[in-house]
Structure 1
Amino acid sequence: MTRAIMIQGAGSNVGKSMVVAGLCRAARRRGLSVAPFKPQNMSNNAAVTADGGEIGRAQALQARAADLAPHTDMNPVLLKPETDVGAQVIVQGQRFATMKAREYGSRKTELMPCVLDSYHRLAAAHDLIVIEGAGSPAEVNLRAGDIANMGFAEAADCPVVLLGDIDRGGVIAQLVGTDVILPPEDRARITGFAINKFRGDPSLFAEGMATIAAHTGWTPLGILPWFDEAWRLPAEDVLDVATRKGGAIKVVVPRLNRIANFDDLDPLAAQPDVTVEIIEAGRPLPADADLVILPGSKSTIADLAHFRAQGWDIDLQAHVRRGGHVLGICGGFQMLGREIADPDGIEGPVTRAQGLGLLDVTTTMTPRKRLALSNARFDSTGDPVSGYEIHLGDTTGPDCARSWLTLDGRAEGAASADGRVRGCYIHGLFAADRFRAAYMAAIGAPLQEMAYDAGVEATLDALAAHLEAHLDVDLLLSLAREMPARA
C-alpha cells in the first residue's frame, strides 16, 4: 500500500518546500515511486501542467525532484492574491472563484472533497506521498475547516513531522509552543521533528534537541545546516532570486506589488556573470542596467499604476534614451504598450489605462485565460525555446509585425523599430541555454557558457545528499504510514 508523511512547519518560510523536494529526490534515489502533494498553496508564481492547469511552482520543482511531470493533483488548491484582501481560487488547476479572505475562510471546507480526490489519485500511482503543509498548525484560529495542515492530516489520517527554523531565533519556543497550543488529537499526529537552517556546529544544539524531545515526546530526526546551494534552484519568492551577487552584467527588475511567474529570472540569476537586481518601491531604476525586465503580474493595471507611482516610467524612458534594452514578459509586455483595456472589469474597477508607450500595441483583457505549455523558436537564430503561457488578454498592434519568436507555428511577440524594446507572452525563455546566450549577446552582454537544467538537477542531487547526511532519512521514512483504504 501507498505510504504518506506530512511535513508541517512551526512557522512560515521555515524551508518546508525545500525539505520536501530533497525528500522526494532522496526517496527516488532509493528506488521508490514518490510524488509531492500540497493541499493548499498561496502563490502568484505558478507552473503550467501538461494536463492544462496550474499549480504552485514549488510543487513543480518537487515533481522534478521526484522525476515526474507536474500535475494539477499535486496542488489541488492554489490561492493567487489579487489584492490585499482577496485572491483568485484555483481548484485542480482551473479558476474556481475570486474570493475575499473572509469568504474563503467560510467556504474552504467545500474544497476538501476535491483535495482528497487529488490525493487519492496520486496515491493510486505511487509508493510514497510526501505532503507539504502551509504556514503553521499553531494558527489554531484557522483550525476550523482547515484543509492545509492538521485538517488535512486528520482527513487523510497521515502522520506529521514538524520542521523548525533556527535561523530566525526562538526555535525551542516555536516547537514546544506548537505542542502546547495544539488540541490533543492534533498533537498526537506529530511523530517527529527536525531543525532547519542551522549555521555553525550542530553539536552545540544537542541540548536544545533534547529539551524539545523531553517536552513534546516527539522523535528527533536531525539538524539540517544551511544549504548553501539553495539559490541554484528555482525560487518560490521573488526576494530569493537576488540572494547572491553575480557578475558585471546587470539585469534590473522592478518589484511589482502582484509580481507573478518570475521564474524567467532564475536562469539569469544562476549565471555567474550576471547580477539580477530586484528594485523595491521607492528606489529608482539603476542607470547602469544592461537589461530591464518587466515581469508578469497578477493585476496588470494596478501594477502599472504602482510602477508610475515610483517614477519608474520616467527611469525606464531615460534607460531607453541611453540605448538600454527592455524586455516585457506577459503582464510586463502589456504594460509596455499604448493602452490596456479591461471592458468587463476582470481586474477591478479601472477599465482602461494608458500604457508606457514603448511598444505600439494595445491589449484587451478577456475572460478566457490562456494556459499552455509552448514550444517556440528564436527567429534571429533558430534556437529552440520551451516555455509556457499563462495570461488573460489579447495584444495587437503595428509592433506585432516585428515578432521575434515563432510559437507553435505562429508569430509571437512584438518589438520596437530599433529592436531595443521587446515583449512576449512566453514564460521560461531563459531556461534554454542557447536562447539565453543568443539573446544576451544580441544586446551586447555575452554570457559564459552554462547548462542551466543540468545545474538544477545536480543541485537537487546535492540537496538529497544534504538531507541524507544530516537527517535520519531512514527513520523519517519509517514514520510514513500506510494510507487507509479510500471510503
Structure 2
Amino acid sequence: MTTTTPALMIQATGSNAGKSTLVAGLARALVRRGLKVAPFKSQNMSNNAAVAVDGGEIGRAQAVQARAARLPPSVHMNPVLLKPQTDTGAQIIVQGQRWGVLGARNYLDKKAALLPFVLDSFAKLARDADIVLVEGAGSPAEINLRKGDIANMGFAEAANVPVLLAGDIDRGGVIASLAGTHLVLQPDERARIQGFIINKFRGDPRLFDQGLVAITKLTGWPSLGVVPWLPQAALLPAEDAVDLNRAHQSTATRIIAVPVLARIANFDDLDPLGQEPGVKLIFVPPGQPIPGNADVVILPGSKSTLGDLAFLRAQGWDIDIAAHLRRGGHVLGLCGGYQMLGKMIDDPDGVDGPAGTVPGLGLLDISTTMTGDKSTTLVSGVHCDSGAAIQGYEIHLGRSDGADCARPFLTIDGRSDGAASRDGRVQGTYVHGLFGGDAFRKAWLARLGIASTLAYESQIETALDALADHLETHLDIDAILAIARSRHSSNASAA
C-alpha cells in the first residue's frame, strides 16, 4: 500500500447542518498547528460564488475555508459548482469555467462524467498539502441520488477518503437522523464513516451523554465530540439562501432594504452592512412591500437577471422603488441588479433565458446586452465619488453602455465601471465584494450621513480564530487527525 496525503471528509445528515463551518474551523485549527491545509468540495450548489486567483469561480464557502487555511482560493477547491437559474435547471461551472446549462434530470445523467475533473482537482490539491479537508453536499442518506454520485459517498469511495458524519441537534431528531443514515447506507459506506459529530448544541452538552451512547449503540460509530452553538459563526460570509433568514438585530434607525429576488446571488455582499451598528439591514421577502422609511434600496446580484426582473415586477417592488425615489431615497444596483436599473436588457442569443428584449426599470440611462462571454476576475480600483480604494470581483454575463456611464461608480485599472443618474441617487456597478472593504464602506455610508464603526476584515479573522478555539475545545482533534492520516491507497493517482 502507498501512503497518500491525509484527507478527511465531513458529511452530514442533512443540508445546513454546519459542514462548511466545521471545515473552516478545522482548517484554521490545523493550520495553527503548522499543517498546510487544503479545503475541498467536489460539488457545490450555490449562487453565492467567489473568484479564485486562477480566474474561475467557486462556491463562497470554499473561499472562506481557503481564508481559514490561509491559502488563496483555487478553482480546484470546488471543481463542480451548480448555480440554479430556475427551479429545475442550473448553470454548471467546472474547474472554474462555464460548462453549460442543464436541467436537473439531465444533470443526474451526466454527473458521473464529471468525476474525472473532480479527482483531478483533488489530486492537484493533495500534492501540495499536508491534509485535505473535504466537505460533502446535502446528505449521503439521499440514496435516490447515489448512482453516479460525486458529492458524498461516491467521491469518498473513488478517492478512498474516510468520513465523519455531522448531525444538527438544533433541528431536533439528531439520534434518528444519524441512526437512519446508518440504516440506509450500504455496508461498505457505513464502514467508511469513522465517527460522528453533534453540531449546534444549545445548553449543557453533558445532558446529551446518554444520546451519544445511544447513537454509538445503534451505529457502531464513536463520538468525536459535541459542538455547542457558536454565535460568532454567524459573522462569517453566508452561502445558502436559508441564511437570509438570519436576523440582523439592530436598533438603528437608518434602513437599507434588499428585495429577496427568486435567484438572488452573492448576497454575502451585504453581510458587512448588516453588521454595521448604525445600519438596520432588512431583507424584504416576496409578497412584502419595501419599507417606506428605507434610506437605501439595494438591488442585489441575480443568477437570472431577466427572470428576477419579472419576479421583481410581480411583487410590485418596481412601484415601491419609484415611490422610494420620489421621497428622496437612494438606489444601488449590484451586478444583475445594476442591469435591471437600465432602460433595456437585450438577450439576442438567449444566454439568460428566452431570447428577446425586455424593458428595464428605466432608472439609469443605460442598456445591457447579454453575451455568452462570462467575466470572472478579481479587481481593484477607486470609488469615483470618494477616492476610496476598493477591492472586489466580477462574475457576470453581459455589458452595459449608455449616457449615465459617463458618471462611473468605480475606476478599475484605468477603465470605468458602473453608472450614476444625474442627481447621483441611482447608481450601479458590476463589482461584488465592495462592502467588505472598510474604506469604501465608510465612504459610501458617509455619503448617506451614516457613521461606520465596523472593522470587517479583522472581525472575520477574529471569528475564524474563535471557531478554531471552539472546535479545539469540543472536538477530539487528535483523533480526527489520526483518522485523516489512516488514509491509504494503492492508486497513487487518487492522491
Give the TM-score category using the shorter length: over 0.9
Conservation of the 8 A alpha-carbon contact between 1:25 and 1:66 = yes
The 5 A counterparts of 1:85-484 are 85-241=88-244, 242-246=246-250, 247-447=252-452, 449-480=453-484, 481-484=486-489
Conservation of the 8 A alpha-carbon contact between 1:37 and 1:119 = yes
Separation in 1, partners of 2:197, 2:303: 35
The one-character-per-residue Cα deviations of 1:387-406 (angstroms, maximum 9, x if unpaired) are 00010111000110111311
Q: Shift of residue 450 of structure 1?
A: 1.9
The one-character-per-residue Cα deviations of 1:105-144 (angstroms, maximum 9, x if unpaired) are 0111101011000000000000000000000001111111
Separation in 2, partners of 1:206, 1:409: 62
Bigger shift: residues 4-13 or 237-246? 237-246
Conservation of the 8 A alpha-carbon contact between 2:409 and 2:417 = yes
The one-character-per-residue Cα deviations of 1:211-252 (angstroms, maximum 9, x if unpaired) are 001111111011111111122111112442542312332111
Task: Report SS of the residue matched to 2:373.
Answer: strand
Task: Report SS of the residue matched to 1:188.
Answer: helix
CA separation of 1:421/1:239 partners in 2, compared to 1, >3 Å: closer, same or farther? farther
The one-character-per-residue Cα deviations of 1:160-213 (angstroms, maximum 9, x if unpaired) are 000000111110000011111101111110010010111111111100000001
Counterpart code for 1:332? G
Bigger shift: residues 251-260 or 403-412? 403-412
Conservation of the 8 A alpha-carbon contact between 2:349 and 2:355 = no
Residue 31 of structure 2 corresponds to: 28
Separation in 2, partners of 1:275, 1:218: 45
Q: Shift of residue 381 of structure 1?
A: 2.4
Unaligned runs of 5+ in 2: none
Q: Shift of residue 376 of structure 1?
A: 1.3
Conservation of the 8 A alpha-carbon contact between 2:278 and 2:450 = no
Task: Report SS of the residue matched to 1:251.
Answer: strand
Counterpart code for 1:116? L
Separation in 2, partners of 1:106, 1:483: 31
Separation in 2, partners of 1:137, 1:237: 19
Conservation of the 8 A alpha-carbon contact between 1:73 and 1:122 = yes
Q: TM-score, normalised to structure 1's length?
A: 0.98
CA separation of 1:279/1:239 partners in 2, compared to 1, >3 Å: closer, same or farther? farther
Separation in 2, partners of 1:239, 1:63: 22
Residue 13 of structure 1 corresponds to: 16
The one-character-per-residue Cα deviations of 1:389-444 (angstroms, maximum 9, x if unpaired) are 01011100011011131111111110011101100101111111111011111122
Task: Report SS of the residue matched to 1:469.
Answer: helix
Determine whether 1:67 maps to 2:74: no
Conservation of the 8 A alpha-carbon contact between 1:301 and 1:350 = no
Q: Shift of residue 347 of structure 1?
A: 1.4
Conservation of the 8 A alpha-carbon contact between 2:5 and 2:130 = yes
Counterpart code for 1:34? V
Conservation of the 8 A alpha-carbon contact between 2:175 and 2:211 = yes
Counterpart code for 2:32? R
Separation in 2, partners of 1:106, 1:411: 43
The one-character-per-residue Cα deviations of 1:55-76 (angstroms, maximum 9, x if unpaired) are 0000000000000010000000
Separation in 2, partners of 1:237, 1:482: 31
Q: Shift of residue 267 of structure 1?
A: 1.0
Determine whether 1:486 maps to 2:490: no
Separation in 1, partners of 2:260, 2:436: 21
Q: Shift of residue 264 of structure 1?
A: 1.4
Conservation of the 8 A alpha-carbon contact between 2:259 and 2:299 = yes
Bigger shift: residues 469-478 or 77-86? 469-478
Conservation of the 8 A alpha-carbon contact between 1:231 and 1:243 = no
Separation in 2, partners of 1:274, 1:240: 19
Q: CA RMSD in A?
A: 1.1
Separation in 1, partners of 2:243, 2:117: 31
Task: Report SS of the residue matched to 1:122.
Answer: helix
Separation in 1, partners of 2:14, 2:476: 22
Conservation of the 8 A alpha-carbon contact between 2:248 and 2:275 = no
Separation in 1, partners of 2:97, 2:138: 23
Separation in 1, partners of 2:454, 2:13: 37
Counterpart code for 2:249? K
List structure 1 segments (4+ residues) > 4 angstroms apart after TM superposition: none
CA separation of 1:483/1:268 partners in 2, compared to 1, >3 Å: closer, same or farther? farther
Unaligned runs of 5+ in 1: none
Separation in 2, partners of 1:192, 1:272: 41
Q: TM-score, normalised to structure 2's length?
A: 0.97
Counterpart code for 2:248? R
Q: Shift of residue 483 of structure 1?
A: 4.6
Conservation of the 8 A alpha-carbon contact between 1:231 and 1:244 = no
- The percentage of counterpart residues that share the same residue type is 60
Q: Shift of residue 445 of structure 1?
A: 2.2
Task: Report SS of the residue matched to 2:493.
Answer: coil
Counterpart code for 1:308? R
